[in-house]
Chains A and B, each alone.
Chain A
Amino acid sequence: MKLEELRFGTELIKRGFASMQKGGVIMDVVNAEQAELAEEAGAVAVMALERVPADIRAAGGVARMADPQKIVEIIDAVSIPVMGKARIGHFVEAQILEALGVDMVDESEVLTPADEQFHIDKAGFGVPFVCGARNLGEALRRINEGAAMIRTKGEAGTGNVVEAVRHMRAIMGGIRALKGLSSQELVDCARDIEAPVELVIECAQRGRLPVVNFSAGGIATPADAALMMQLGADGVFVGSGIFKSTNPEATARAIVEAVNHYDDAKVIAEVSKGLGDAMKGLDVHLLREDEVLQTRGR
């Protein structure tokens, strides 16, 4: 091995890391005990947080990156990758997360944005990033900034899958709509959706996003998780849905199996039996404008 040929944090390594998560469930956890439960249940990674999104909603105020002490405790508790959330545009929180040894940074609308004009310049980091998106244009703008993974935003902390469905349909439909367009029409489309034309052309050629696309924001049951997989997600993030249910351990295991067997209704039926109450959930139409998280960062 030639040491001078060593390269860290390349696009291939960052996107490759995201690819290894495919077909998996990434679970929000707030302490070492929950992280161990998630790993034991078969999570491919955990998201280390101060509070799950439902509690962030309830608490109000400014939501920031979690206490580094808490993140380190979670990193030390599990062998699977640990992700952490930074505020949109808060590149110093991202630098801190990278320094702590977090395996992926989520530049997340669940936290209060730090910059209303710019997202983090993610290409300059060695650690890979995941970003939320509601439609193809948002997804491609984030990829252009260096995101190695996209997740649909949904509406976090509601336990209501409707927004996750809306955003997954928008992204998948947006890609399908590119099929058969001439190169002139693709340039026009890129202008319409405010995305770089090279990325629009790449989506048209491959029939999918250039990076892994997970679903997030409102998944509360095994059926919700399988629904998002059938709609085209490469995997799912489950936030409040696990630790706000009455039986987190059984719910976590059931969601892992539902994602694994997303096209087999018999298995999903079996694993869904007797899980107790899912998280209560919110009607997204009753949220005040300032309570909606998905409109943060476009």
Chain B
Amino acid sequence: MGVKVGVLALQGDVAEHIAAFREALADRSGSSVAAVRRAEDLAGLDALAIPGGESTTISRLIGKNGLYEPLSEFEGGVFATCAGMVLISDRVDDPRVRPLSRIPMHVARNAFGRQVDSREAMLEVAGLAEPFRAIFIRAPVATDVGPGVEVLARIPEGIVAVRSGRHMAFAFHPELGGDLRLHRMFLEGLGV
């Protein structure tokens, strides 16, 4: 059966998320990947990706576009990267971001410093046989997670990959770099 994925298209690397999910779903007929800009675009979706971008900007646009309630109540799985990880949490170290409270965890923004401190690293991720080339760009980290949240990867700065029910969140960018193993892990977890 096909999987219907939406990508929150308010700001950030939306096109990269759409391209990555299209590739990951290329062999599943009846699947679709589309941009989500309004509440009605969420209807019938099995999953939603929240992209990287500026979490303060995206949070503001979520409010302005009347998307806060619909996103808090969205029933499918959420695949969140970087700014998405900040938005999907329930506690953020910055009052300008209003988190969607989908995964109980505390997230710190820009935990690595300036852009020159952004990095690529080979990362051990629970559930993957081989390390994953993780691309951290002004990335956040989770500093603690609530009950029921599985930590998939951790580095000295903090927690950088988690799973909670059908939701997954990453401090890095699996949508860049062409390795789709984490997309496949997420899609399998949806149980569609």
Interfacial residues, chain A to chain B (CB-CB below 8 A)? 1-2, 5-10, 12-13, 16-17, 19-24, 39-40, 42-45, 79-81, 98, 101-104, 126-128, 256-257, 260
Of the stretches B20-28, B112-120, B184-192, the one at the interface is: B112-120
Pairs of residues from A and B, 10 with the lowest C-beta to C-beta distance, nearest first: A103-B115, A5-B122, A23-B11, A101-B114, A19-B13, A7-B120, A44-B54, A42-B60, A126-B116, A20-B52
Q: Which residues of A contact B131 (CB under 8 A)?
A: 2, 5
Query: B12 is contacted by which of A6, A22, A101 (Cβ under 8 Å)?
Result: A22
B83 CB-CB contact with A under 8 Å: yes
CB distance from A196 to the nearest CB of B (A): 23
Give the size range of B's interface with the partner: 35 or more
Q: Could you tell me the distance between the alpha carbons of A16 and B118 in the complex, rounded to whole angstroms?
A: 10
List of A residues within 8 angstroms of B115 by Cβ: 17, 81, 102-104, 127-128
Chain B 110-151 interface 0/1 with A at a Cβ cutoff of 8 Å (1 = within): 100111111111111000000100010110000000000000
Report 17 cross-chain contacts, Cβ distance below 8 Å, ordered by A residue. Answer: A1-B124, A5-B122, A8-B116, A12-B135, A12-B176, A13-B120, A20-B13, A20-B54, A22-B12, A22-B13, A22-B53, A39-B96, A79-B56, A79-B96, A101-B114, A101-B116, A103-B138
> Which chain B residues in 68-125 approach chain A with CB under 8 Å?
82-83, 94, 96, 109-110, 113-124
Instruction: Please tell me if B31 contacts chain A, counting CB pairs below 8 Å.
Output: no
Cβ B135 vs Cβ A20 within 8 A: no
Give the interface centre of B96, B120, B123, B135 by most chain A CB atoms within 10 Å. B120
Known: A98-B116, A128-B115. A17 touches B13 (CB 8 A): no
Contact present for A17 and B14 (CB under 8 Å): no
Can you name the residue of chain B whose Cβ is closest to the Cβ of A260?
B61
Q: Is the CB of A9 within 8 A of B135?
A: no
For the complex, give the distance between the alpha carbons of A9 and B118 in Å. Answer: 7
Which chain B residue lies CB-closest to A23? B11
Q: In the complex, what's the smallest C-beta–C-beta distance from A175 to chain B, in angstroms?
A: 16
Please report the C-alpha to C-alpha distance between residue A10 and residue B96 in the assembled complex, in whole angstroms.
31
Residues on B with beta carbons closer than 8 Å to the beta carbon of A40: 96
Select B138's contact among A5, A17, A126, beta carbons within 8 Å.
A17
A13–B135 CB distance below 8 A = yes
Q: How far is the CA of A64 from the CA of B82 in the complex (A)?
A: 35
Partner of B53 from the list A5, A20, A256, A257 (CB cut-off 8 Å) is A20
Q: How far is the CB of B22 from chain A (nearest CB, A)?
A: 15
Verify if B43 is at the interface (C-beta below 8 Å from A): no
Note all chain B residues with C-beta closer than 8 A to A10.
120
A126 to B120, CA, bound (A): 13
Measured CA separation A127–B117 after assembly (Å): 9
| Chain A hits for B173, CB < 8 A | 16
